[in-house]
Amino acid sequence: IIKSFMKQGINIKQLNMFGFSAGAQFVQRYSLLYPKKVAKSAIYASGGNDPLTKKLPVKFFYGIGLEDQQNRKTFAKQFKAQAKKTKTSLIYLEYQNTGHNLTDQVIDDVIEFFNQ
C-alpha cells in the first residue's frame, strides 16, 4: 500500500497505525519490525504479541476489554510489562464490561491518542 502511494508521489515519512484483534497483531508486528516508519501504534485486543525486547521510538496504545478471553488479556499484560521494562512509551487501558468487541469508547480513545 505504501509503495503504491509512493508511485503516486505521496511520501509517507511515518505512520499512525490502528488494529483490532488479528489487525492488532499485524500493527504490533509491523511496529516492531519497522519502528522508524511508525510514529504511533494503537493495538486493541490483540490475538498475539511478538516480544518487545528493546526501547523503541514508537508511541504505543494498548487496550483490552476485561471480559475478553484470558489469552488476549494475558497478551495485553505481557506487552505492558515489556514496555515498562524497555521504557517504551505506552498508554495502557482496560475497558470494563467489554469483551472482544470494538466500542465507541475505544475508538474515541484511539483518536485522542493519535491527536496528542
22-56: per-residue pLDDT in tens? 999 999 999 999 999 999 999 999 999 999 999 99
Residue 5, CA distances (Å) to 29, 35, 114 in order:
21, 19, 21
pLDDT value of position 112: 98
Average pLDDT, whole number, for the chain?
95
**Mean pLDDT, rounded, for 55-68:** 98
pLDDT tens readout for residues 80-97: 999 999 999 999 999 999
- 3-class DSSP state of 6: helix
Burial of 100 (0-12, 13-18, 19+ CB in 10 A): middle
* pTM given for the model: 0.92
Give pLDDT tens digits for 3-22.
787 788 887 788 999 999 99
